[in-house]
Structure 1
Amino acid sequence: MTVVASEPPARDPEKLRPPAPPGRRWGRLPAVFETALIVAGLAAFVFVLRHSALGDAVLRYDTLRQLLDDGTLTDNRYTIVGHLFAVPLLLAARLLGQDQQQWATMYNSLLFAVAIGVLYLLLRRRLPAALLRRFFLVLIAASMFAAHVVQFNAEPFTALAVAVGLVAIAVRGRSLAGWAAVALGVANTAATLVPLAFVVARRMWEDRRLRYALAGVAAVAVLVADNWVRRGSPLETGYSGTSGYRTVMPYSGRLDFSYPIFFGLLSVCLSFGKGLLFFTPGLMLPVRASMRRLPLRDGTTLYRLYGWWLLFTVGLVVVYAPWWSWYGGLTWGPRFMLFVSVPASLALAVRLWEPAEALWSRALTLAVLTLSAWVGLCAAVFAAETPPACVVDHFANEALCHYTPEFSALWYPFVADLPVTRRDIVMIIYCGLVYCYLAAPLVRSLGADVARRSRRPLAEGLRGWRW
């Protein structure tokens, strides 16, 4: 995951489209079908997924409701910077006499749809349309987002605001709106100040300008104001002195950032229940050559944007690895790493749009797509199902959900007979359709290559055999 300082001359993206394989020159039919899948997926996020409010999502909602009721703010530890944009949704629910909390739980799904729309407007004239559509399909049907947009938590706003903001900066250069979105996303989750520092330092080095540091200043200013108004001190975040339950794990029950960073890094990256290797496998794909041929504007290619996203990813891993709750509590998958789904989805989309010539690379892409599709299906269907063994006796055995394959969020559906509702069946059909559509060209090309390469050895091996 190396980010280079210089970029090669960018070329016209329309000239970089791979030639349509035989049997696929159907005019506009593939584009229409893919667009329909995207629209259907966004609609399913809002109207089909099972939305609910649990844990700190309830506290965030109560804070917002109290603000609307009497104009006061509670002093709990959870910031509501991103949730303030949900105020119109709650007011609409009040006006229509609907359940405000239920409407609030749909906020992140609506936010996701808006982010997809903004990304389309920013990138539609910059990237090949087929690549952009694949990027959206992977985000919807083959990433972690389906599991996290159904709650009223902070991670979707932070992930989407930072990702979209950096796209605006890459496309438009010194975009004030882009930096504002990034600053708001970071202010919504204080720990992301460290990843922001990585990206800002990179931008300052690239352009030799100090002004980019103002984004960090703005994010800190919002955080300080929130602390001051709600807790009476600019430095009181509400998180100091927090810890989890004492369990069999040797470093459990400690305060704040006390987890050994070595074990934290291994856990964040490689654990079966929370590891990025399993939940965002797209990061493993080699995409530098392809991305460096795709221009976003003069002097900036898609690979530079991808590099900024990777820097933010590295910052997230570094800042959360030593925290006692690196796993994100009782949530599906690596909650704090939701942002990583964005660069992982882009990398997978690039490889689907421009398959490599090497057989092993296409096989790797198919394997990554298959795992990513399973991640997306589990996120959409089984995210609410937690193994009972992981929550009994004050979470004494919670580590089973983090480290063992049998209790992992990805593999537990193979162990237990989990209930499947009609809504779930709709999502299973949708995710399966998207996977089959995206995988079909790879399967066809791999099958043809394997058949061609094995024909002669097979013939030689059968030569001389008699009944």
Structure 2
Amino acid sequence: MVNDDDSGKWRAYAETGLILVGLVGLGFLMPHNVLGDALARYKALDQFIHTGVLNDDPHPIIGHLFSLPAYLLNNPKPVVEQYNLVLFAVALGWTYWLLRDRVDPALTRRFFLVLIVGSMFPAHLSQYNSEPLTALAVGVGLMAVAMRAHGGWTAIAIGVANTPAALGGLALVVLRKIWQDRRLRYVLVGVAAVALIALENWVRRGSPLDSGYNGLAGFKTVMPYSGLPGFSYPFLFGLLSIMLSFGKGLVFFAPGILLPVRSLLRRAGLWDAYALWLLFLAGLVIAYAKWWSWNGGFTWGPRFFLFAAIPASLAVAALLWRPSERLWLNLFALVVWGLSTWVGICAAVYFDARDLTVCKSHNFQLEVLCNYTPDFSVLWYPLVRHLPAHWYGALWILFSAIVFAYLAMPLIARTLSQLNAALARLIHSARSTRWRF
């Protein structure tokens, strides 16, 4: 007979093995590319290594400077294509180090597995875009801040400088920390982030205030506020679109943020970090709601809000770790875990569903279809057209199904037990009631 200690040890080995298999799968099963904005950054750094000159392209490259050693190779592209996956693995390692003596390791492992299998991350780890560094640096940095560990604020400043619009999220976090600790020194983090942004602007464009985005706008389409530059989109419409649109909405791409897990995370010792994450995410939403390209352009899902995958994954992992005493919440958590797993499958297997010709035709006149309608959403188009999965995609779907079932078993067992008890109470109540004509 296996005792509880041995059982727990074998579960730890199995879950760690699943995490490692997931990371290897993301590295070797998923196609990796340098496309879109990432290509502009790639060319800028390649030119810098060979000429010593940085061009004036508006896309920030602070987060990509860590990949500069790869450009010393004869062919850096295959290496930089794996850059964000390396960052992801480093972030998981740092998070493990922060939580190893503070949080139940079973919750940490579930958190990692949900990030790998049930989030938007796979779609972005296969690219050379800037969003992963910002999400990971700020996410782990805020965890370090909450755990009173070193290095957190430095990582946050770098992550925010890599995405200047993230200053809105940083502002809310700084205000909360000032209020909590009654110390004004947290303002220095914002000063450091702004200084890094200004330095890049000055080096590349000759002025600390010149971001390079002045006057940039999208095509004029049937949408009434299209074709306007800057922060020209109505805030309310931007907010509704960011949260609820079928092609970009966080409710669909990061449904875990809807789960009420405050008491559970308090018991786990993670509420402070989670609250900081939600504040930062709120700042991102507020900042981008008025941006003319709130949707992130012609990309897979809400790329500006990749950060949302971090709190969403922790919320899901918490209820997979400790199912609720409330039946409705467990049922809701099962639905959210199922949708999250589908998001991860679409991100890894059906990434090319973002590249729909109909939504690019006639100078993106029909891009609205990909942003707002379920039929052309990257989450549902694979079902509409019955898109096939390549052999590596089939392997990833199988892996995702195994992880889904393994993590869901305790939640399913608790839910079935609660349903059985509720049914028994209902039958008892019906039998004890005197029926009359």
Give the shorter-chain TM-score range.
over 0.9
Shift of 1:171: 1.3
In structure 2, the residue matched to 1:53 is: 34
1:156 aligns with 2:145: no
Cα displacement string for residues 179-199 of structure 1 (whole angstroms, at most 9, x for unaligned residues) = 110000000011111111110
User: Hey, what's the Cα distance between the residues in 2 that align with 1:223 and 1:318?
Assistant: 20
Cα displacement string for residues 300-359 of structure 1 (whole angstroms, at most 9, x for unaligned residues) = xx2111111111010000000011100000111101000011011111111111111111
1:266 aligns with 2:240: yes
1:391 aligns with 2:354: no
Q: Identity percentage over the alignment? A: 52
Shift of 1:445: 2.4
Shift of 1:447: 2.3
Shift of 1:419: 3.6
1:210 aligns with 2:184: yes
Matches for 1:170-189 after TM superposition, within 5 Å: 170-172=146-148, 175=150, 177-189=151-163
- The answer for unaligned runs of 5 or more in structure 2 is 432-437
User: Hey, what's the Cα distance between the residues in 2 that align with 1:140 and 1:119?
Assistant: 14
Q: Secondary structure at the match of 2:147?
A: helix
Q: 2:328 aligns with which of 360, 363, 366?
A: 360
Distance verdict in 2 for CA 1:356–1:227, change over 3 Å: same
Instruction: Tell me the C-alpha RMSD between the 2 structures.
Output: 1.8
User: Hey, what's the Cα distance between the residues in 1 that align with 2:260 and 2:352?
Assistant: 33
Cα displacement string for residues 104-160 of structure 1 (whole angstroms, at most 9, x for unaligned residues) = 111001111111111111111110010000000011100000011111111000000
Q: 2:13 aligns with which of 25, 32, 45?
A: 32
Matches for 1:259-338 after TM superposition, within 5 Å: 259-295=233-269, 302-338=270-306
Kept in 1, the 8 Å contact 2:323–2:410? The answer is: no
Cα displacement string for residues 353-382 of structure 1 (whole angstroms, at most 9, x for unaligned residues) = 111111111101111101111111111111
In structure 2, the residue matched to 1:134 is: 110
Distance verdict in 2 for CA 1:194–1:457, change over 3 Å: closer
Distance verdict in 2 for CA 1:331–1:428, change over 3 Å: same
User: Hey, what's the Cα distance between the residues in 2 that align with 1:179 and 1:163?
Assistant: 11
Letter in 2 for 1:421: H
In structure 1, the residue matched to 2:101 is: 125
In structure 2, the residue matched to 1:67 is: 48
Kept in 1, the 8 Å contact 2:250–2:302? The answer is: yes
Kept in 1, the 8 Å contact 2:226–2:292? The answer is: yes
TM-score (norm: length of structure 2): 0.94
- The answer for unaligned runs of 5 or more in structure 1 is 1-21, 296-301, 462-467
Q: 2:348 aligns with which of 380, 393, 414?
A: 380
Letter in 2 for 1:46: G
In structure 2, the residue matched to 1:409 is: 378
Kept in 2, the 8 Å contact 1:46–1:110? The answer is: no
Kept in 2, the 8 Å contact 1:75–1:231? The answer is: yes
User: Hey, what's the Cα distance between the residues in 2 that align with 1:64 and 1:366?
Assistant: 44
Give aligned pairs, total.
427
Kept in 1, the 8 Å contact 2:255–2:336? The answer is: yes
Moved over 4 A (4+): 22-25, 455-461
User: Hey, what's the Cα distance between the residues in 1 that align with 2:200 and 2:124?
Assistant: 24
Kept in 2, the 8 Å contact 1:86–1:107? The answer is: yes
In structure 2, the residue matched to 1:423 is: 392
Kept in 1, the 8 Å contact 2:319–2:411? The answer is: no
